[in-house]
Amino acid sequence: MKAIRIHNYGGPDVLKYEDVPVPAAGKGEAVVKIAAAGLNFIDVYFRSGQSKAAQLPFTPGHEGSGIVSAIGEGVTEIKVGDRVAYAMSQGSYAEYAAVPAWKLVKLPDTVDFQLGAAVMLQGMTAHYLTHSTFQLAHGHKVVIHAAAGGVGLLLTQLAKKLGATVYATVGNDAKAALTQAAGADETIVYSKHDFVAEVKRLAPAGVDIVYDSVGASTFDKSLSCLRPRGYMVLFGQSSGPVATVDPAMLASKGSLFLTRPTLVHYSMTREEIRSRTSDLFRWLDKGELNVRVDHVFPLAEAAKAHEELAARRTTGKVVLIP
């Protein structure tokens, strides 16, 4: 089969498109013939070394959809021929991937493969951030950074669905228009305006929560946007990792809460995955959630897709197809 591999020759940043053996279904696993793979910043982190990957060489990709082609011993959750999608299982940049069966969910007939690959990781992330890490409710005020990205657009929609006021930060006017279409109450173009000053103008007492997937370039200023006992939710680091935090700073800025969540700890059981995805699929079916698949690349052009995502030249979701 064809797959993308990262090797230790040529540097860890090099993506190679090559032939590798088709995986076999081990105990508790299913082999999925991949129809679409979602691209996420975690893939960039693994490629660049910001996140430690499995032993080299390895196939990147943590999200995919397709048809079950084989099942291993003890698998009862799904059967051969099922249309499925999954997240948080490495190896989706390929024509076939072996996936723990408990992580697979069946796709409704109304959800095609590209949409299925697009909604799993980013959709469940937006779900846990708004429903579990912090239970948003009517009257809450939130800042969402990188609001025109895949997670940002979903976060905005879910926050509005729960009754929150959303202040979205973006890099340009075109991205601002996307966040407004997603329901943001106010958009702040940070290349033109200081986002802290704008947030303070809009919410003089500070906001209840900041959702920050950017990291190094926004973290310190984000803390200044919060009300006393506000929540700083750092769930990514697209601009680089945050420097060491002195806990005393959280006290000086108003006894703030700081968390660094990750989807792996909010999708630890099959029941939790099914609960989150059933909500997402129901909202999609009712037209209450819009998932934008704005960029589709052939698998052979995964390197180009990474370049576009890392340079923040993409909006919505980026998908790879074999």
pLDDT tens digits, one per residue of 81-122: 999 999 999 999 999 999 999 999 999 999 999 999 999 999
In this predicted structure, what is the pLDDT of residue 310?
87
List CB contacts of 54: < 8 A, sequence separation 6 or more.
90
C-beta of residue 267 within 8 angstroms of C-beta of residue 89: no
In this predicted structure, what is the pLDDT of residue 55?
77
Query: What is the model's pTM?
Result: 0.94
C-beta of residue 235 within 8 angstroms of C-beta of residue 211: yes
In this predicted structure, what is the pLDDT of residue 225?
98
In this predicted structure, what is the pLDDT of residue 41?
87
In this predicted structure, what is the pLDDT of residue 222?
97
Q: What residue has token string 């680089």?
A: 240
In this predicted structure, what is the pLDDT of residue 18?
95
In this predicted structure, what is the pLDDT of residue 131?
98
List CB contacts of 150: < 8 A, sequence separation 6 or more.
40, 118, 122, 292, 316, 317, 318
In this predicted structure, what is the pLDDT of residue 54?
67
Q: 317: closest CA among 125, 53, 131?
A: 125
Q: Which residues of the chain have pLDDT under 70?
A: 8-13, 52-54
Instruction: Domains for the chain: give ranges and CATH numbers.
Output: 2-121+268-321 (3.90.180.10), 138-260 (3.40.50.720)
